[in-house]
């Protein structure tokens, strides 16, 4: 029997503060150990002692109890809602953890947006539409002036 561990990906600060372990563990039979140690995925498994395995599993159990009693710290609050977002290269550049999670340009992901951000975004969208309309009017007026000058 082998005990293996790997670092968890994408753990929020809130979950870490609540005691979520950074490690994920598994117990595998001798015949299956190479499958985990030599996989082609992003997971990097390494050997750990039975004692380490038991300590991490105890942390997992304590965190699960915390979640049952207090709720999941990663769950969106009532003030937040999730929205679909199509990932851009800029998103990947600014959030390298997305790359490590296997997200690529064009993928649709859920992002948490607070009510305040959502309202501000809608207002900003209205303002940009108004400013685009005023820019179009200004462009049309300058085109008219240019054609009048050319005619004279």
Q: What is the rounded (10 degree) CA torsion for 61, 65, 68, 71?
A: -90
Domain boundaries, the chain: 2-70, 80-151
Give me the mean pLDDT over the 11-17 stretch. 84
Measure the CA angle with vertex 73, ends 85 and 51; round to 5°: 115
Quote the pLDDT of residue 57: 93
Q: Is the pTM higher than 0.95?
A: no
- For the segment 52-108, what is each residue's pLDDT rounded down to a tens digit? 999 999 999 999 999 999 888 877 666 567 788 999 999 999 988 888 888 889 999
**Percentage with pLDDT > 70 across the chain:** 68
pLDDT at 128: 46
Write down the pLDDT at residue 152.
Answer: 52
pLDDT of residue 42: 58
pLDDT, mean over the chain: 75
pLDDT of res. 127: 47
Q: Would you place residue 149 in the very low, low, confident or very high pLDDT band (cuts 50, 70, 90)? A: low
- Give the percent of the chain with pLDDT over 90: 18
Which has more confidence, 41 or 32?
A: 32
Q: How far apart are CA 97 and CA 150, in angstroms?
A: 57
Q: List CB contacts of 145: < 8 A, sequence separation 6 or more.
A: none
> How many residues belong to the chain?
152
- Residues 127-138 pLDDT 10s: 444 444 444 545
């Amino acid at each position: 029997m082998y005990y293996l561990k790997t670092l968890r990906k994408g753990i929020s600060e809130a979950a870490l503060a609540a005691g979520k372990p950074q490690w994920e563990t598994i117990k595998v039979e001798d015949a299956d150990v190479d499958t985990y140690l030599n996989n082609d995925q992003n997971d990097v498994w390494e050997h750990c002692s039975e004692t380490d395995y038991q300590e991490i599993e105890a942390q997992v159990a304590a965190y699960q109890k915390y979640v049952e009693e207090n709720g999941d710290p990663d769950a969106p609050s009532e003030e937040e809602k999730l929205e679909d977002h199509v990932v851009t290269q800029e998103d990947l550049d600014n959030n390298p953890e997305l790359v490590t999670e296997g997200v690529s340009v064009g993928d649709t992901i859920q992002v948490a947006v607070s009510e305040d951000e959502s309202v501000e975004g809608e207002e900003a969208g209205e303002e940009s539409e108004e400013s685009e309309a005023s820019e179009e009017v200004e462009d049309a007026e300058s085109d008219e002036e240019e054609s009048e000058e050319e005619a004279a």
